[in-house]
Chains A and B, each alone.
Chain A
Amino acid sequence: MEEGNFPTRRWEDLKIDILVKILQASDFFEMIFVVSQVCRSWRLACSNQDLWKTLDLSVLQSNFIRTQIELITRTGICSTFRRWEDLESLTMPSILNPASVIQEIGRSCRNFAELKIMGPCDMRFATALVGYRLQQITYVVQQISDLFLLFLTDYSSTAIDPQVIDRIRKKLSGATTITRKIILEGAVVVVDDGSGSGTYLTVFERINHYDYDHTSYTDFATYSECSACKCQDCKTKYDGVINAINALTASVKKMTSKRGVIPSKRISYPYTPLEIKVAKRRRKGISKASSSIKKSKVVTLLSLFCTFDQCTRVTGEQHELKKVDVTVKATATTTTKTNLVYSHTVGSGEGSMYAVHTTTSEEIERLFHGRRKSIALYIPINYGDEFHWVLAVVILKERYIRVYDSMSQRRHSGTSSELQKLAKILPTYLDMSSFLYQKVCTNWLTIEAYWDKVSNPFDIEYVEGIAQQSISSL
């Protein structure tokens, strides 16, 4: 059967499943127009169901075909989806008749799990989403320029409270009414609508660091820009922040999952902030990025570049701080990773506790796990530009931060910005990581301190009467 003797190699006779494999290996949507016209059998292969689990029409957003989408009639779309039982994911620039389209998808596409809309998401759309309850859909993403909205849907309850629908409507009707809690590059925040019905509205946003609000806690977003430009110093610090936050989130997450009280959907929630994407975007130039470094103060929040060894003895009613001996591994010459130092209450009995240096996330996880009732979080914080450290003890149960400052007279006016940021960031992370929704040992949401102010910053209390040192002692 030598070459040319027999027409054995006929690509048009290629088995359809092989051809489908070839098409799957490519960007199918780029090739469909060509492949579908080559010959009959290839055209047939193009309608194979395996190739059509995802429909990404985002290309239609380009000017090239913009007008064409209006040619697709409502009945056309509806009858398409009616036959399209295997559709799993749909990306569309906009949906003109959301109600009928969503209804059709909800009715026909049993495996539908992902809906991405790039256009405006108005009330009609929201109503349709809720009204035609897509049972299987896991999330909806909306993109309006740089703002992403992610709606996690879980309509597992048989009947939806009309109030919930109302809330969603309100939230969808305009970006202004959507609570924006924290902004991290590529990260996501879940905003609970408070109803407990399992409907979540999530906002995540890419902040342009030209217009970020200085006084708010969005500063983290600027770091991605910094690290993108490989500003070494800043990058190191940023890594530290991320490591610390990751560790914190991971530990909380692990703990909650181990206790098995969180519905699986929340655990599998793919957008927890564990993945903080760094160095993905480098739109801005170095000079711009570095100017933003100066602006951002958070850099100093967790930058531990020295050996911190301080003993503070305190006598308090509830929390007797026996010894704080925090050592952070840091070498003087090389820029190493920054580490957050966590601890927890170890002592038994009369509330005596001491902080232990802990630098790996595994250790933190181990510490968190099994000591759920009395978690206090010790975070040494470097003060601004000064060579001075304070110890912040986060008391989760009472929702405030105790600050041990050995140079309290230095504190001129109110709380330092670092602490304020910490106070704001913490509730958001607790919220995000579902920490607050676990209910085995402590029903957080029923504690008075958390009641109705889940998203409020933590209270900050400076502990008075602790040993002081003079400024000159440095």
Chain B
Amino acid sequence: MSTEVKEAAAAVVKEPSEPLFSKRNKSLLTDPLNDSNPITVQVLGICSALAITVQVKQAIVMSLSVLAVMIGGNLIISLIRNVIPSRIRIIVQLVVVASLVILVDQVLKAYVYDVSKALSVFVGLIITNCIIMGRLEAFALANKPWRSILDAIGNAAGYAWILIAVAVVRELFGSGTLMGYKLVPDAVFEMGYMNNNMMILPPMALITVGIIIWIQRSKNTALIEEN
């Protein structure tokens, strides 16, 4: 990162004492990937994870849309956090998120129309994605813009990698393709292999997310609750 950008960013943060990527700030980026993952640990945003993970392409576009909305939303809310009356803060958040979602929806319709068709109502439903509202409410309202952006990127990335991991499993075993390219050769099909139709159905997405949670907890024992 060049020095100008650093200075500009530092001016916004107004905390010259803390470096841009201090340990505290870095953890904003890395924690949501594992320890506080929005899907597998906080169990938010499950609906979209089940609905649009049939194909990797859709999952990637969805992740990028959520990333854009989250960065925009967190930044705007963080900037105006001191002037929002706390009694109507949810409505303000909704207005901000809804405007951003409409923007994203229009961009998708203009440039990737087929994916936009496939995602259908789920782009609009980003407005109600619990992860976004959760981060606005829990983080952006109480933190400065730079940290809010980092938090948005971290959480969107945590959301994205689960989404894409689930989509890879579902597309590979459900359709034999990845990103639309045929991966399972015809010879295998001739030997009697068949695509697993259940992978296309939402229940298998739930089970796949469950298996990811299982693997994650067996690696990261700090997540296991005392019982």
Partners in one complex: no
User: B residues engaging A (CB < 8 A)?
Assistant: none
User: A residues engaging B (CB < 8 A)?
Assistant: none
